[in-house]
């Protein structure tokens, strides 16, 4: 019996920790007091085995970009846009050697100032009417069911209503005050809001992003138009239209990927 217990103590597995006061199947008087190291295949002490566990440069470069990279990119784009608009405003406000648009605005006729006020009034009112119409239609299950159908008749009717109301609003002669043209404009804005109402199903972030993009584009164009020292920016209608299309497509594509 004593010989069997000694053999059991000699064949114990090697461990990395020191075993003290632990009950063993051998006699109580024999306790292991020196540390033993368990050796595995991945615990080699050679430089080759240690280097194989490191992350290679290719793995580091090809790894997916994290939130930090996207935040840096967004900050760089926003900083470049602010710098560009600020530079245009710097020259347009008359801070340079040439006279700016603010200095020349004193010489504008009264009808030009009135047209500018009317333009921004109708633009802001169009956004308000469109938003109110979209919210009203979104809260109506009957209208949402009608506008959310993927049938050919629903799509054709939607496009016909938008194009037809726009043509009617543009075809009526403008007269000061509230008249037929203003009524057609309100109807067209309400139809646009009804068409945009199903987009609310995609979620609030899409609508908020589109609103911020619209505010940024309109604000930037307004700042350039007010501060531009000349009318050269009027020749950029094509590129600006392309830029607006890219902004709209990116706002849709980015949210649909989530």
pLDDT in tens, the chain (258 residues): 445 444 444 554 444 444 444 444 555 455 555 555 555 555 555 544 544 556 677 766 666 666 676 677 767 766 776 776 676 667 666 565 666 666 666 777 777 778 878 888 888 888 888 888 888 888 888 777 777 777 677 778 878 888 888 888 888 888 877 888 888 888 888 888 888 777 777 666 777 777 777 777 777 777 766 666 666 555 665 465 555 555 555 554 444 444
Q: Is 242 exposed, middle or buried (0-12, 13-18, 19+ CB in 10 A)?
A: exposed
Tokens of 139: 């809260």
Domain that holds residue 35: 1-54
Whether 106 and 156 share a structural domain:
yes
Q: Is residue 169 situated within a structural domain?
A: yes
Q: How many CA atoms lie within 13 A of 202 on its CB side?
A: 18
d(CA 145, CA 65): 41
Q: Is 185 exposed, middle or buried (0-12, 13-18, 19+ CB in 10 A)?
A: buried
Whether 38 and 150 share a structural domain:
no
- The H or E element containing residue 64 is none
CB 126 within 8 A of CB 189: yes
Q: Is residue 74 situated within a structural domain?
A: no
Q: What is the pLDDT of residue 246?
A: 55
d(CA 164, CA 160): 6
d(CA 145, CA 244): 30
Q: Is residue 63 situated within a structural domain?
A: no
CB 210 within 8 A of CB 249: no
Q: Is residue 46 situated within a structural domain?
A: yes
CB 133 within 8 A of CB 162: no
Helix spans in the chain (H): 2-10, 47-52, 57-62, 67-92, 101-104, 110-138, 141-147, 152-171, 180-196, 204-227, 237-256
Count of structural domains within the chain: 2
**DSSP code of residue 199:** G
What's the angle, vertex CA 205, arms to CA 203 and CA 211, rounded to 5?
A: 115
Residue 233's closest CA among 61, 23, 92? 92
Residue 32's closest CA among 52, 45, 17? 17
Whether 145 and 227 share a structural domain:
yes
Whether 210 and 167 share a structural domain:
yes
């Amino acid at each position: 019996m004593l010989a069997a217990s000694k053999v059991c103590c000699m064949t114990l597995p090697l461990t990395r920790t020191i075993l003290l006061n632990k009950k063993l199947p051998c006699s109580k008087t024999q306790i292991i007091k020196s540390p033993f190291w368990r050796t595995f295949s991945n615990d080699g002490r050679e430089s080759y085995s240690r280097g194989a566990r490191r992350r290679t440069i290719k793995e580091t470069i090809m790894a997916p970009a994290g939130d930090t990279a996207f935040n840096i990119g967004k900050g760089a784009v926003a900083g470049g846009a602010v710098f560009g608009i600020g530079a245009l405003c710097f020259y347009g406000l008359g801070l340079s050697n040439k006279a700016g648009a603010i200095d020349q605005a004193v010489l504008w006729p009264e009808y030009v100032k009135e047209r500018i006020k009317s333009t921004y009034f109708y633009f802001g009112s169009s956004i308000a009417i469109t938003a109110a119409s979209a919210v009203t239609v979104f809260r109506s299950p009957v209208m949402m069911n009608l506008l959310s159908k993927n049938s050919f008749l629903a799509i054709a009717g939607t496009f016909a209503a938008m194009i037809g109301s726009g043509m009617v609003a543009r075809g009526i002669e403008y007269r000061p005050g509230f008249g037929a043209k203003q009524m057609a404009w309100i109807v067209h804005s309400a139809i646009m809001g009804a068409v945009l109402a199903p987009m609310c199903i995609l979620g609030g972030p899409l609508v908020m992003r589109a609103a911020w993009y619209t505010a940024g584009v309109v604000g930037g164009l307004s700042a350039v138009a007010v501060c531009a020292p000349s009318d050269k920016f009027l020749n950029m209608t094509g590129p600006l239209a392309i830029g607006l299309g890219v902004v709209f497509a990116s706002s849709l594509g980015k949210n649909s990927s989530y």
